[in-house]
Amino acid sequence: MNNSPIQSIIPANYQPKNMAAAFEQFTQAYPTYAETEAIDQLRATDYSRLDEQKHIYLDYTGGGLYAESQIQQHMTMLSQNVFGNPHSNNPTSVAMTNLVEGARKYVLEYFNASPDEYIAIFTPNASGALKLVGESYPFQADGRFLLAFDNHNSVNGIREFARTKGATVDYVPLTMPNLRIDQPELDKLLTQADPAHGNLFAYPAQSNFSGVQHPLELIDRARDKGWDVLVDCAAFAPTNRLDIGRWLPDYATFSFYKMFGFPTGIGCLLARKSALQKLNRPWFAGGTITLASTQGQWHHLAQGEAGFEDGTVDYLNIPGVKTGLQHLEAIDIDTIHERVTCLSGWLLQNLYGLRHQNGKPLVRVYGPTDLEMRGGTVTVNFYDPSGNLLDYRRVEELANEQNISIRTGCFCNPGANEIAEALTEEDIAPGFEEGKRIGLPVFMSLLEHSTGKSAGAVRISVGLASNFADVYQFLNFAQGFLDKSSEKVGHVTFEIENCRVIRDGS
């Protein structure tokens, strides 16, 4: 892996005449890319629809892409069997139970989580897994919930459970400009745990905003000081080896579609058995109890994962999780990691090097510009030659015209965005006070006019099926903004409300 600072490798505004010339430069700078060649063959077979339909897919942090072979295997399984609702004794149910439990076992094996120590709970997505912990964790007065600024909203949301139960909520700051957890500050906050009360520390193994990888060593460090540790692995697991047996988090959360595209609707909470025992579920549902009485109004929660899987699990899709994990194993997650590292290095160094004729940079990169402890997520904002911010929604709109799929906004990670843009509470206050009335577009323009800052950015992310051509074509697209004024780039034509885009469906 090439960890050198990237800005020195390529001269500013390097514009290779054609893709072949650029590819040669790339392979010289990243010779290990050649070792990932098997993925080019897969791209031509299992992911051929990308090139057939001329898609440039660069939103792997939003969602992974499934291989055609995964779908075929899944369809064959469905069409050649008769399956009933699992966990009964009839033959169709037993057949289904075996596949669901086989997938559960496979998840544990894949992450090297010993079944003696860990339980895998299927959830609708990573958010569902996070909510299970949040609603059940024994927060109380004198207890604490500590979390990184760099968290997805589905982790931020846990603070509402903590606050309701009277626990103290603290955020660990990030360092600028690299957006890493401020470790001296973290150490100070970690000393504040009173071991007599519940103390939960939550952070992402990889940021969905900046791609920063926060050290897994923090798990031990926090636990030594009396904390239970929740690591959100949703953005980390798709392109990194994760050895749960080595790091031993109390709780780890995943969404499988981010790892291998299909199935959607299934996530997982990996919980250490000792940590699972601390959780008190606030309700019960079909499937989560051994016995319940309506007259007596009592219930007994089932042991293990059964107590946490509400109602009927997505049983026809769960076997697809095993197929997806096997697909990753066949490619080898380290090969995927290497490929993503090479591509994101090239993307970063070239984007970062783009300069208008007056020498001003085209983009501002949020987070590290080298490859040390970072994944394949690159988040930037574009500026015109006079330093005016280009509306990220307009950038997305223009990318759409070229069939380039990128993500814009704050990606449900407002904390990283606030720190990256140095947004202060005063900057944000008008949006909060008026929020319901003014909506996001007006808030964005207010913010930009009053502070010159942005409530969002452009995220480009590479993953399993990415190739050099994807990155090359995005760089060509980005070069199109050089030396254009913001007026020339124009204004966005679609509406966006909250974090969701509103389009006329006609």
Ligand X SMILES: Cc1ncc(COP(=O)(O)O)c(C=O)c1O
By CB under 6 A, name the binding residues for ligand X.
Answer: 125-127, 152, 154, 204, 208, 232, 234-235, 255, 267
Displacement of CA 38 from its chain's centroid (Å) = 25
**Can you give the C-alpha Rg of the chain in angstroms?**
24
Which residue's CB is nearer to ligand X, number 96 or number 269? 269
Confirm whether 342 is a catalytic residue: no
Q: Which long-range contacts (CB under 8 A, 24 or more apart) does 390-396 make?
A: 390/481, 390/486, 390/489, 391/444, 391/486, 391/491, 391/492, 392/454, 392/456, 392/457, 392/458, 393/492, 393/494, 393/496, 394/489, 394/490, 394/491, 394/492, 395/458, 395/481, 396/458
Nearer to ligand X, 152 or 453 (CB): 152
Smallest separation (angstroms) from ligand X to the CB of 505:
23
For residue 65, which of 262, 237, 236, 254 has the smallest C-alpha distance?
262
> Measured from the CB atom, is 193 or 212 closer to ligand X?
212
Q: Distance between CA 282 and CA 76 in Å, rounded?
A: 40
Question: Which residue, 113 or 126, is less far from ligand X as judged by CB?
Answer: 126
The smaller minimum CB distance to ligand X, of residues 356 and 407, is found at 407
Cβ 405 to ligand X shortest distance, Å: 15
Q: Rounded to 5 degrees, what angle do the CA atoms 353, 3, 381 make?
A: 35
Distance CA 71, CA 10 (A): 41
Query: CB-wise, 255 or 486, nearer to ligand X?
Result: 255
Q: How far apart are CA 179 and CA 325, in angstroms?
A: 31
Please tell me which residue in 233, 342, 410, 412 is annotated as part of the active site. Answer: 412
Minimum distance from residue 159 beta carbon to ligand X (Å): 15
- Rounded to a whole number of angstroms, the minimum distance from the CB of residue 197 to ligand X is 26
- Taking each helix axis from N to C end, the angle separating 333-353 and 38-45, rounded to the nearest 10 degrees, works out to 90
How many residues in the chain?
506
Q: Cβ distance 456 to 409 under 8 Å?
A: yes
Which residues are CB-contacts of 190 (< 8 A; sequence separation ≥ 6)? Answer: 146, 201, 221, 222, 225, 227
Give min distance, CB of 236 to ligand X, in A: 8
Enzyme catalytic residues: 412
